[in-house]
Amino acid sequence: MAEERQVTLEPLGTKEPLYELIDVPEHFGPIQRLVDDHKIKTYAFTQDDYNSWYFGDDNPFGRRIGHAAILANDVLQLFTTLYDPSAVVGFHTHEELWFHNPVFEGEVATLEGAYVEKYERRGKGYVVMEAEARGEDGRLLITHRGEEIMRIHPGSVRGQKVSEKEETSNGGKSEERGRVSGEYRKDIEPVAQARRDLEPGTPIAPLRKHTIQEQVSIFSRAGRFIKNIHSDIDVAREAGLEVPIVQGQQQLGYLTEMLTNFFGASWFTSGWVKVKFIGSVDVGETVTARGAVTGAAQEEGRTRLELEVWVETESGDMTTVGWASALVDEV
């Protein structure tokens, strides 16, 4: 049984989260997060993801591990160590994550990051953060790059869609990718496990999620008495929303669960995903995470399978779109 350790949460920031007040570069951390039984169970509840790998040692890594994206919201929220989280009324627009190693239950992870860029586009002020999480032995767990509008009236951006083309990067290589269409071959049954021989257009097994307020509130840190457009109805309505909305990073968690199911252990050591949040999900809505194979590339003698991924509502509207890839586990 892992030794129980307590990691004191850092004080929340008090700086007003205004674009004009953001410094570049601006450093955050290091801070620590204990990935203990409570954190794993809490994340499992917020995502409704109870994979047995997270509750025992029967997994390819031989020890109990945390979910692939269990630290993703922690690195995203690093800026709230300096900025007042209850005053944030922004919009998370892009998220990119690289997965290098799993985090083990009982391990203290160290998180650190910085604002590396700020720019204005169409009258909105954007900030870019790069961050990482490392294990106790110094190994890299995840790398994060995210963009957010600071600040904006969330009700004013509902329904906006992704541009025709998106400049993105995969493993450090910049490339232009076409618009995510949400289309896939209907004549092929969804595939549950990654294989090297999958044809472009092959759908992967989808994942359906029904969102509830309790999950959304806890994911968005209501336990630390933070009020925002995800956890508080009054804040949401002041921002022009009828009801609280699901955090973009929580939608990303649905995609990473789907991709973990598809790629298996390889997702924790070679996974990459980049998404753009193009629409909001109201609390109470049911959404489906989907993906389709787009191609494959050779990487050091192994096959890296590439996909388009997205989250869609029951009416078929896409709320999150992006790209993902990982090495195919050798059979």
Say how far apart CA 309 and CA 306 lie, in whole Å.
Answer: 10
Contact 168, 274 (CB under 8 A): yes
Query: DSSP character for 215?
Result: H
* Predicted local distance difference test score (pLDDT) of residue 3: 55
Give first-to-last CA distance, the chain, whole Å: 32
Q: Which CATH superfamily is domain 19-155+166-327 in?
A: Hotdog Thioesterase (3.10.129.10)
Q: Which segments within the chain are labelled E, that is strand?
A: 26-35, 91-99, 107-121, 124-134, 140-149, 165-170, 173-178, 207-210, 272-277, 286-299, 302-313, 318-327
CA atoms within 13 A on the CB side of 323: 19
Tokens (6 digits) for 64: 């109990």
- Main-chain phi, psi angles of 2, to 5 degrees: -65, 145
Closest CA to 171 of 194, 145, 197: 145
Residuewise pLDDT in 10s, the chain (331 residues): 445 566 667 777 888 888 889 999 999 999 999 999 999 999 999 999 999 999 999 999 999 999 999 999 999 999 999 988 777 777 889 999 999 999 999 999 999 999 999 999 888 899 999 999 999 999 999 999 999 998 665 555 544 443 334 444 333 333 456 789 899 999 999 999 999 999 999 999 999 999 999 999 999 886 666 777 776 777 778 878 788 888 899 999 999 999 999 999 999 999 999 999 999 889 899 999 999 999 999 998 999 999 999 999 999 999 999 999 999 987 5
Say how far apart CA 302 and CA 328 lie, in whole Å.
Answer: 7
pTM: 0.89
Contact 129, 72 (CB under 8 A): no
CA distances in angstroms from 282 to 156, 252, 314, listed in the order given: 15, 15, 12
Say how far apart CA 279 and CA 313 lie, in whole Å.
Answer: 10
* Predicted local distance difference test score (pLDDT) of residue 173: 37
| Sign, CA torsion 15/16/19/20 | negative
Say how far apart CA 222 and CA 227 lie, in whole Å.
Answer: 7
Report domain extents, the chain. 19-155+166-327
Bridge partners, residue 173, by sequence: 170
Say how far apart CA 70 and CA 111 lie, in whole Å.
Answer: 13
